[in-house]
């Protein structure tokens, strides 16, 4: 922005020497390159996680038949293309592990946290660039360890992503030895990577905001990443401790979770879910933040109830620490505790409801532009609505007795967690011009949205029906159960939808790679948005801003009466009179 | 959607199902309302050029309303659920009919009292996977596991309880209809998890007595 006033000297970041190839692309200290590295790693892993899901779906629709094209996989992992039960258990375990820890976390937190935080708060880089680089490379080590577990004797972990003890605590219960150990070690390493990232995010946001960028002028994306970083910092050590105990039980002869040695299996569940429930919000909060920014931008309207949006995320973060027991209603935990956890769980639905209503309020009276990021953001709202509402069923303890560990749960968490993929795509389409300096093909992006939305719902909505019929999770062959036989056609329907959902992602992959190489050069502010990253060049150079931006107002001043056009960047100076009226 | 619920044959199943239906109606109405409002907004407020968006930062009254209404509904639901939950899980009715369920990879081991009339003793009579019980009688279960965590699930009975090694978990049900009902394991327990199941035979008192006379040790009178 030419009319941006430079208050601070820009000298510190101005004169960088051209870094070597290794420093620029591999061991980069630039938050934007680290963000891109997380993106490429996450997109690579989503391919693997997605393919595993396709195999799971094949088995459920056409149990114990050969998967086309997989005859080459040797026994005992496959038998002439037929998936055996042991492999099936490994498939869904690794699908969930990869999607949660190696796709949604690296992309939503790693990519957008790294790329957006310094740009959106108006600073040159993260507080600790070296720690940032380490965070990525330690994450890459964790990824390598996790992937290597596919190739060890006995195959990868097969005890579910929840790895309930004692199943996961003694090799003879699953038949998986080294694979489970590598699973534990990989997640412990990943925990270190996430801790480094979260410390960096918190320090950067607290200390390095541009002049005028008060906490309540921060975009909700930054708020969401800030709260997520705090949750990560507090939750991950609990997982790491639990994983260490599990590893000791497996290799050092301890009995933390083994009753025969005086241990307690439910202790694992308490520790795992004490981490695991905040983890769900770690995954979904950045999606909520991104959605808020995109809805406001393309409604050309201020976000409805900015403070309520920020405080509801803070409320969710606090409440997320006291709801973990709702995963354990039928675990044998004292039923009185179940009642207490039901109360807290019902309460946490309230801030989630506020968010949905405020998103609706943002649309009200807007001039809505149906760009591809907007469509995906609306898709996220629609999925989150379904996932949020279905959560009320399992919050009710008596109803949960019946639907616990059924496909009702599978439907619920896919609408919430797999629904995040819509916010993920929205964010990629929205910030792609800033990240790579090129524009993605809008027509193909819209086609990608339509197909993804249809097949996503085709794949996940009928899972509610299966759940109502009592279809258990994690079973290998539904036709072994007489009471499920009448529902088998839904499994076929879901699988066909899932295969088409997978195939539709080709349009994203193609568009992404093609635009990366040959997309139209992007302007500085293609969406006419207000937040600071759009004041930097596309892509921003090392150091980000030509002059230190100064912030005069909140991030959502769209259609403000102060100016003729319908956007008003945070860093445009309209003089002291306007500043006095500013939000 | 709820027509796919398996037939309920337990005394407390009705309470669970009515909560299920209540939440279903509440969420369905909410879903339709929100979706319709969203679609109307998307059509009505689409950018057609020439109009400027309303410059509004929110409405505190509206926000208070849409905080209080869901909060009230959710709290009421929680209290309604709490009483049913207590009935199902906390207060086990007095009964003289007790059986043991010991899960192991990949079977339900069912034990009936032997001549001493107690379960958990050496003279217990054991069966794999089949449970026979009389109709209209509270059945007390002692559930445990020998190896990993399993979950004893009887869909028609709206019954589910994890079986945890090292713990004896008390539970109960009372069948209201005779018949043969499937009892799958609902918690991942290893490569044989799928297919780990048994059958529950709910019989008339006469049929049950006949089966018991043939299969169980004589009970002390």
Please check whether residues B106 and B184 belong to one and the same domain: yes
**CB-based contacts of A421, cutoff 8 Å, min separation 6:** A452, A456
Helix or strand or coil: residue A420? helix
In a domain, B162, yes or no: yes
Q: What is the pLDDT of residues A428-441, one digit of tens each?
A: 999 999 999 999 99
User: Sign of the C-alpha dihedral, residues A148, A153, A155, A158?
Assistant: negative
Q: Are strands B179-184 and B197-203 parallel, antiparallel or unpaired?
A: antiparallel
Please check whether residues B68 and B7 belong to one and the same domain: yes
Q: What is the pLDDT of residues B13-27, one digit of tens each?
A: 999 999 999 999 999
Please check whether residues B156 and B103 belong to one and the same domain: yes
Q: What is the pLDDT of residues B82-126, one digit of tens each?
A: 999 999 999 999 999 999 999 999 999 999 998 888 888 888 999
Decide if B47 and A367 are in contact by the 8 Å CB cutoff.
yes
Per-residue pLDDT, A285: 97
Q: What is the pLDDT of residues A207-263, one digit of tens each?
A: 999 999 999 999 999 999 999 999 999 999 999 999 999 999 999 999 999 999 999
For B57, the closest chain A residue by CA position comes to A304
Q: What is the pLDDT of residues A129-156, one digit of tens each?
A: 999 999 999 999 999 999 999 999 999 9
Please check whether residues B102 and B12 belong to one and the same domain: no
Where residue A470 falls among pLDDT bands split at 50, 70, 90? very high
Q: What is the pLDDT of residues A344-403, one digit of tens each?
A: 999 999 999 999 999 999 999 999 999 999 999 999 999 999 999 999 999 999 999 999
Smallest Cβ–Cβ distance between B45 and the set A308, A367, A472 belongs to A367
Min Cα separation B127/chain A (Å): 20
- Chain A CB within 8 Å of residue B29 CB: no
SS (H, E, C) A539-581: CCCCCCCCCCCCCCCCCCCCCCCCCCCCCCCCCCCCCHHHHHH
Beta bridge partners of A4: none
Smallest Cβ–Cβ distance between B147 and the set A166, A386, A473 belongs to A166
Helix or strand or coil: residue A332? coil
Quote the DSSP letter at residue A17.
Answer: P
In a domain, B51, yes or no: no
Inter-CA distances, B16 with A485, B5, B72, B157, B186, Å: 24, 12, 21, 10, 18
In a domain, B52, yes or no: no
Please check whether residues B103 and B28 belong to one and the same domain: no
Stronger pLDDT, A1 or A552, i.e. the higher one: A552
**CB-based contacts of A396, cutoff 8 Å, min separation 6:** A342, B19, B23, B77, B78, B81
Min Cα separation A250/chain B (Å): 14
Instruction: Name the token pair of A39.
Output: 């993106």
Beta bridge partners of B197: B184
d(CA A472, CA B164): 18
Where residue A12 falls among pLDDT bands split at 50, 70, 90? very low
Helix or strand or coil: residue B146? coil
**pLDDT beyond 60 at B214:** yes
Decide if A390 and B59 are in contact by the 8 Å CB cutoff.
no
Instruction: Name the token pair of A15.
Output: 């004169």
**pLDDT beyond 90 at A118:** yes
Please check whether residues B106 and B181 belong to one and the same domain: yes
Min Cα separation A183/chain B (Å): 17
Chain B residues close to A339, C-beta within 8 Å: 82, 85-86
For A555, the closest chain B residue by CA position comes to B57
d(CA A507, CA A429): 13
CB neighbourhood size of A555 (10 A): 28
> What is the secondary structure of B163-183 as a DSSP string?
E-BT--EEEEEEB-S-EEEEE
Min Cα separation A144/chain B (Å): 26
Sheet of B98-104: strands edge to edge?
Answer: B125-128, B107-112, B98-104, B138-145, B169-174
Min Cα separation B220/chain A (Å): 32
User: A547: burial class by Cβ within 10 Å (0-12, 13-18, 19+)?
Assistant: middle
- Chain A CB within 8 Å of residue B153 CB: yes
Tell me how many domains chain B contains.
2
Please check whether residues B131 and B178 belong to one and the same domain: yes
User: Sign of the C-alpha dihedral, residues A92, A93, A98, A104?
Assistant: positive
Please check whether residues B69 and B146 belong to one and the same domain: no
d(CA B133, CA A483): 20
pLDDT above 70 covers a percentage of chain A that reads: 97
Report the first-to-last Cα separation within chain B, whole angstroms. 49
Counted residue by residue, chain A has a size of: 583
Element (H, E) at B143: strand B138-145
Decide if B147 and A560 are in contact by the 8 Å CB cutoff.
no
Where residue A581 falls among pLDDT bands split at 50, 70, 90? confident
Q: Which of B68, B213, B126, B57 is nearest to A581 (CA)?
A: B57
Instruction: Considering only CA atoms, give the Rg of chain B.
Output: 25
**Stretch 160-199 of chain B: residues touching chain A, C-beta under 8 Å:** 160-162, 164-167, 169, 182, 184-195, 197
In a domain, B221, yes or no: no
For A566, the closest chain B residue by CA position comes to B52
| Prediction pTM value | 0.94
Average pLDDT, chain A: 94
Where residue A1 falls among pLDDT bands split at 50, 70, 90? very low
Give the start-to-end residue ranges of the domains of chain A: 35-581
% helix, strand, coil for chain B, step of 5: 35, 30, 35
In a domain, B189, yes or no: yes
User: B56: burial class by Cβ within 10 Å (0-12, 13-18, 19+)?
Assistant: middle
For A63, the closest chain B residue by CA position comes to B194
Q: What is the pLDDT of residues A29-48, one digit of tens each?
A: 999 999 999 999 999 999 99
d(CA B16, CA A402): 8
Chain A residues close to B64, C-beta within 8 Å: none
Per-residue pLDDT, B217: 67
**CB-based contacts of A108, cutoff 8 Å, min separation 6:** A283, A286, A287, A290, A420, A423, A424, A427
% helix, strand, coil for chain A, step of 5: 70, 0, 30
Q: Which domain holds residue B124?
A: 98-215
Smallest Cβ–Cβ distance between B81 and the set A381, A398, A406 belongs to A398
Determine the distance from the C-alpha atom of residue A129 to the mean position of all C-alpha atoms in its chain, rounded to a whole number: 23
In a domain, B220, yes or no: no
d(CA A281, CA A29): 28
Element (H, E) at B125: strand B125-128
CATH number reported for the structural domain that contains residue B31 in this entry: 1.10.287.90
d(CA B88, CA B43): 48
In a domain, B35, yes or no: yes
Decide if B20 and A349 are in contact by the 8 Å CB cutoff.
no
Instruction: Name the token pair of A130.
Output: 């070296």
Find the angle CA(A125)-CA(A579)-CA(A292) to the nearest 5 degrees: 55
Q: What is the pLDDT of residues A263-290, one digit of tens each?
A: 999 999 999 999 999 999 999 999 999 9
CATH number reported for the structural domain that contains residue B107 in this entry: 2.60.40.420
Please check whether residues B70 and B147 belong to one and the same domain: no
**CB-based contacts of B124, cutoff 8 Å, min separation 6:** B100, B111, B112, B113, B114
Q: What is the pLDDT of residues B123-180, one digit of tens each?
A: 899 999 999 999 999 999 999 999 999 999 999 999 999 999 999 999 999 999 999 9
Smallest Cβ–Cβ distance between B16 and the set A335, A401, A473 belongs to A401
Q: Are A292 and A308 in contact (CB under 8 A)?
A: no
Q: Are B188 and A171 in contact (CB under 8 A)?
A: no
d(CA A95, CA A92): 5
Decide if B70 and A353 are in contact by the 8 Å CB cutoff.
yes
Q: What is the dihedral of CA A123, A127, A131, A133, to 10 degrees?
A: 10
What average pLDDT does the segment A310-333 reach? 96
Q: Are A122 and A545 in contact (CB under 8 A)?
A: yes
d(CA A257, CA A266): 7
d(CA A161, CA A453): 26
Mutation site, A396, A477, A557, interface B, largest B CB count within 10 A: A396
Q: Are B175 and B14 in contact (CB under 8 A)?
A: no
Per-residue pLDDT, A10: 43
Q: Are A60 and A498 in contact (CB under 8 A)?
A: no
Where do runs of H (alpha helix) occur along chain B? 13-44, 60-85, 205-215
Q: What is the pLDDT of residues B46-71, one digit of tens each?
A: 999 889 999 999 999 999 999 999 99
Instruction: Name the token pair of A236.
Output: 């991950």
d(CA A350, CA A346): 7
Please check whether residues B207 and B120 belong to one and the same domain: yes
Where residue A6 falls among pLDDT bands split at 50, 70, 90? very low
Please check whether residues B188 and B132 belong to one and the same domain: yes
Asked whether this complex has an ipTM greater than 0.90, the answer is yes
Decide if A475 and B191 are in contact by the 8 Å CB cutoff.
no
Where do runs of H (alpha helix) occur along A365-441? 372-395, 397-403, 407-413, 420-436
Q: What is the pLDDT of residues A524-533, one digit of tens each?
A: 999 999 999 9
Decide if A175 and B190 are in contact by the 8 Å CB cutoff.
yes
Please check whether residues B36 and B81 belong to one and the same domain: yes
Chain B residues close to A406, C-beta within 8 Å: 186
**CB-based contacts of A457, cutoff 8 Å, min separation 6:** none
Element (H, E) at A512: helix A488-518
For A366, the closest chain B residue by CA position comes to B53
- Helix axes of A129-148 and A31-61: crossing angle, nearest 10 degrees: 20
Q: Are strands B125-128 and B107-112 parallel, antiparallel or unpaired?
A: antiparallel
The architecture that CATH gives domain A35-581 is Up-down Bundle (1.20)
Where residue A18 falls among pLDDT bands split at 50, 70, 90? confident
Chain A residues close to B182, C-beta within 8 Å: 481-483
CB neighbourhood size of B214 (10 A): 7
- Helix axes of A220-251 and A112-121: crossing angle, nearest 10 degrees: 150
Chain A residues close to B165, C-beta within 8 Å: 166, 259-260, 265
- Helix axes of A265-299 and A306-319: crossing angle, nearest 10 degrees: 170
The verdict on whether omega for the bond into residue A204 sits within 30 degrees of 0, i.e. cis, is no
In a domain, B133, yes or no: yes
């Amino acid at each position: 922005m030419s009319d941006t006033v430079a208050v601070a000297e820009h000298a510190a970041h101005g004169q960088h020497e051209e870094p070597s190839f290794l420093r620029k692309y591999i061991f980069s200290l630039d938050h934007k390159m680290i963000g891109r590295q997380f993106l490429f790693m996450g997109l690579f892993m989503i391919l693997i996680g997605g393919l595993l899901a396709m195999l799971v779906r094949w088995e459920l629709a056409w149990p114990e038949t050969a998967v086309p094209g997989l005859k080459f996989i040797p026994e005992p992992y496959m038998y002439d293309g037929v998936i055996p039960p042991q492999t099936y258990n490994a498939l869904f375990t690794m699908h969930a592990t990869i999607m949660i820890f190696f796709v949604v976390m690296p992309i939503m937190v790693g990519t957008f946290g790294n790329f957006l935080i310094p740009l959106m708060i108006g600073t040159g880089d993260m507080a600790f660039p070296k720690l940032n680089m380490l965070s990525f490379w330690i994450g890459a080590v964790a990824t390598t360890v996790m992937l290597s577990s596919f190739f060890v004797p006995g195959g990868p972990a097969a005890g579910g992503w929840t790895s309930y003890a004692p199943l996961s605590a003694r090799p003879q219960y699953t038949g998986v030895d080294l694979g489970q150990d590598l699973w534990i070690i990989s997640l412990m390493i990943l925990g270190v990577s996430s801790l480094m990232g979260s410390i960096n995010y918190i320090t950067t946001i607290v200390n390095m905001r541009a002049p005028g960028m008060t906490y309540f002028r921060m975009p909700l994306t930054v708020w969401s990443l800030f709260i997520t970083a705090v949750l990560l910092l507090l939750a991950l050590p609990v997982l790491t401790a639990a994983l260490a105990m599990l590893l000791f039980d497996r290799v050092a002869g301890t009995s933390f979770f083994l009753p025969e040695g005086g241990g307690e299996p439910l202790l694992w569940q308490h520790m795992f879910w004490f981490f695991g429930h905040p983890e769900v919000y770690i995954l979904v909060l950045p999606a909520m933040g991104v959605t808020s920014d995109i809805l406001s931008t393309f409604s050309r309207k201020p976000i409805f109830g900015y403070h309520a949006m920020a405080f509801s995320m803070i409320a969710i973060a606090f409440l997320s620490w006291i709801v973990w027991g709702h995963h354990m209603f039928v675990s044998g935990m004292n039923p009185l505790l179940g009642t207490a956890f039901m109360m807290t769980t019902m309460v946490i639905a309230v801030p989630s409801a506020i968010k949905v209503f405020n998103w609706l309020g943002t649309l009200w009276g807007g001039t809505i532009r149906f760009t591809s990021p907007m469509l995906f953001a609306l898709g996220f709202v629609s999925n989150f609505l379904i996932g949020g509402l279905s959560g009320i069923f399992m919050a009710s303890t008596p109803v949960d007795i019946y639907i616990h560990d059924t496909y009702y749960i599978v439907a619920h968490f896919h609408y919430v967690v797999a629904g995040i993929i819509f916010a993920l795509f929205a964010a990629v389409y929205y910030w792609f011009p800033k990240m790579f300096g090129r524009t993605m093909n809008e027509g193909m992006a819209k086609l990608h949205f339509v197909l993804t939305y249809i097949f996503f719902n085709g794949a996940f909505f009928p899972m509610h029906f299966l759940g109502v019929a009592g279809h258990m999770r994690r079973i290998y062959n539904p036709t072994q159960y007489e009471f499920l036989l009448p529902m088998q056609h839904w499994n076929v329907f879901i699988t066909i939808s899932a295969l088409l959902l997978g195939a539709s992602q080709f349009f994203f992959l193609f568009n992404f790679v093609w635009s990366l190489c040959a997309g139209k050069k992007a302007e500085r502010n293609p969406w006419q948005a207000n937040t600071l990253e759009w004041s930097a060049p596309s892509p921003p150079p090392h150091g980000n801003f030509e002059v230190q931006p100064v912030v005069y107002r909140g991030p959502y001043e769209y259609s403000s009466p102060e100016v003729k056009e319908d956007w008003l960047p945070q860093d445009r100076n309209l003089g002291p009179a306007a500043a006095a009226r500013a939000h | 959607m709820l027509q796919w619920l398996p037939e309920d044959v337990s005394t407390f199943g009705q309470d669970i199902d009515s909560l299920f239906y209540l939440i279903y109606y509440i969420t369905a109405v909410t879903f339709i309302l929100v979706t319709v409002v969203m679609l109307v907004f998307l059509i009505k407020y689409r950018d057609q050029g020439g109009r400027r968006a309303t410059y509004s930062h929110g409405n505190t009254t509206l926000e208070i309303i849409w905080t209080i209404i869901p909060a009230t509904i959710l709290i009421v639901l929680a209290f309604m659920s709490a009483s049913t939950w207590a009935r199902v899980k906390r207060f086990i009715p007095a009964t003289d009919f007790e059986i043991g369920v010991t899960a192991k990879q990949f079977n339900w081991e069912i034990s009936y009292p032997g001549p001493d009339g107690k379960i958990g003793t050496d003279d217990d009579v054991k069966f794999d996977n089949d449970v026979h019980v009389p109709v209209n009688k509270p059945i007390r279960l002692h559930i445990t596991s020998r190896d990993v965590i399993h979950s004893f699930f009887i869909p028609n009975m709206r019954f589910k309880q994890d079986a945890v090694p090292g713990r004896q978990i008390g539970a109960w049900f009372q069948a209201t209809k005779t018949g043969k009902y499937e009892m799958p394991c609902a918690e991942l327990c290893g490569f044989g998890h799928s297919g780990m199941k048994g059958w529950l035979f709910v019989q008339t008192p006469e049929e049950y007595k006949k089966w018991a006379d043939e299969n169980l040790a004589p009970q002390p009178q």
